[in-house]
Each structure stands twice: as structure tokens, then as C-alpha cells.
Structure 1
Amino acid sequence: MAAPTATTVVLENQSGDTAILVSSTYEGAPSVIKSGEQPVVFDQNTELNTYGSVMYAIGKIATWIVVWTANNQVATWILPAGTSAVWTDIWNKIQPDNANDSYTTSYGWMYESDAHIKSNGDAQDLTAGISVIPPN
């Protein structure tokens, strides 16, 4: 059996609204990520889980999901608020190293998310962020 891989997770919120934790597979995920502040950092020990996930409500506008695995695969998804997450759809989006997604509201605001994961010896680093682009 392979040694567990520690994952350092860095989440950045530039959405213009506070991100509130809805669910996570790991208890170290921060419950609040304020927009425009320094990224939040936490570690995941994959000895218990070979994957991790976080789901955040972005105000009352959107839901932001990030999923990652111990073997450097990642997915991100932005859903309209109130939409149920279909986890098989999210797992079908998982891919090596990088992922991105976007969602445009009915008011023309575009939310974008990027996620990047890479090995760092016996550990890995995951960086994910959400941002917003106002309508023209």
C-alpha cells in the first residue's frame, strides 16, 4: 500500500460575495472565505480519504464545488444557487492537473473557477479560486 499523500489546499474567493461552506469531505475546510481577502490554506491527510471536496454557497447566487484526488486529478463546477449537485456529473469532469468552469447569471455576471493540482514529492498542492466578471 502506498504512503498517504498530504494535500495542501489553497482556496481564493474573488467573487464579490462571501463563500459559506455547505459541505466538505474534510473537517479542516474553512467555514467562511471572504471575498477579496487572502487565500485560505488547510491541509488534507489522504490516509483516511483518497479524495477531497468542498462545496461553498457564493451568497445567494451560485454554488462552487472543487473535487480532487490523491493522484493529481481535479474538477471544479459552478452551479446556480438552489441547483442540486449531481456528483456523477462532477466526477465525469475530473481530469489531470487543471480544471475550469464558468457560470453566467441571468443578469450577465460571469463567475469563473480555476483549479490546479500538482505533486510535490510525497505531497501535493491544490490551488482553486472563484472570481466574477461584471456585465459590460
Structure 2
Amino acid sequence: MATTITTECTITNDAGHNLVLSLSNYETAAETIKNAETATFTLTMPAIYMNGALVYEVGSSLRWIIFWTTDNQVSIKMFKINDPLDLEQVGNNLIYHHKSENRIISGDFQYTAWASIESQPNSNGQVLTANIYATAHNPRPTLPMVIRMGTIFIFFYILIILQSKYDEIYK
């Protein structure tokens, strides 16, 4: 019977910020993963452990949780930095041998993260691959925003008409 289980981790960071490790049940996890870089590291845990977890802070706005089990289930979730971590929600969303994905909007960006896990062939271990990236987020105008912009447009339109009438009268 195996006394340890290894997890080969590859984490790619395209989030626009460095990832800084804030919580881990491993000593060998990458402490910082710089923006636009990929970190590869091996985590070894006692075979009696049932799961592994890494929590990375994404700049000063988000926390990204990567959670997996020794029987190849994976779950990820992003939380805004001031929101409490809901570890139960993360644990309840475990997916067996598939990819877990999550999206969140923070500021002007939409962050997308995913992770997948599978057994390592011919070994007592697994392979965890994860990625996080950001894309510009341009919100659609809301009704109050459209009304506000329309009001401003009408105000300036009336101002231009009144200015031309004022110029006509007082020439």
C-alpha cells in the first residue's frame, strides 16, 4: 500500500496580476506565480489525506481556490477578496475526471479559471492542470444609464438650440 500520493501541478497565470499563495496544505506549492508565466511543481501528501487545496490571491481583488481529492475529483471557485471563502460550496462542486470552470467579474475584467485532474499512468499519483485568465469586460448599458445619457444629450441639444437663438436675437 502506498504511503504517499503525488500531484504534478501545472498552473498557468494570464490574469494580469501575480498569483500569491495565501493557503495551502503543502509546503512545496509555488509561493508566487508571475503574470504570463506557468509554474510546475510536485506536491506530495500522505496517502491518508483525502484532498488537497491551494488558495491564490489574484492581485488585490480576488482569491482563487483549487480543490481536489485523491480519487481525481476537482473543483475551483473565485471569490472577491473581501467575501468570505465558502469552502463548503467548493467541496460540493467536485467533478470527477473532468474540468471545473468558474467566471467572475471584478472591476473592468472578467476572470475565467479552470482546473482538470487525472490519474498519472503507471504511478501512484495524479496530474492537476489549472489556468486563470482575464479579459476586458465592457458592461452593456442598463436602462438607468441609457436614460441618464439620453437626458444629458437632450440637455446639450436644447442648450445648442438656445445658444443659436440667443446669438440671433442679440446680434
Tell me the TM-score normalised to structure 1 length.
0.90
Aligned AA for 1:110? Q
Aligned AA for 1:15? A
* Matches of 2:9 and 2:46, distance apart in 1: 12
* Matches of 2:10 and 2:39, distance apart in 1: 6
Higher relative contact order (CA 8 A, sep 6+): 1
Structure 2 alignment gaps of length 5 or more: 139-171
The structure in which a higher percent of residues are helix is 2
Find the counterpart in structure 2 of residue 135 from structure 1: 137
Asked if structure 2 preserves the Cα contact closer than 8 Å seen for 1:109 and 1:135, the reply is yes
Tell me the TM-score normalised to structure 2 length.
0.72
Find the counterpart in structure 2 of residue 39 from structure 1: 39
Structure 1 alignment gaps of length 5 or more: none
Find the counterpart in structure 1 of residue 126 from structure 2: 124
Asked if structure 2 preserves the Cα contact closer than 8 Å seen for 1:72 and 1:117, the reply is yes
> In the TM superposition, what is the alpha-carbon distance from 1:48 to its structure 2 partner?
5.1
* Matches of 2:111 and 2:125, distance apart in 1: 30
Is the radius of gyration larger for structure 1 or structure 2? Answer: 2
Provide the identity percentage. 25
Give yes or no for the alignment of 1:13 onto 2:6.
no
Count of matched residue pairs: 134
Secondary structure of the 1:110 match is strand
> In the TM superposition, what is the alpha-carbon distance from 1:51 to its structure 2 partner?
1.1
CA RMSD of the aligned region, Å?
Answer: 1.5
Find the counterpart in structure 1 of residue 100 from structure 2: 99
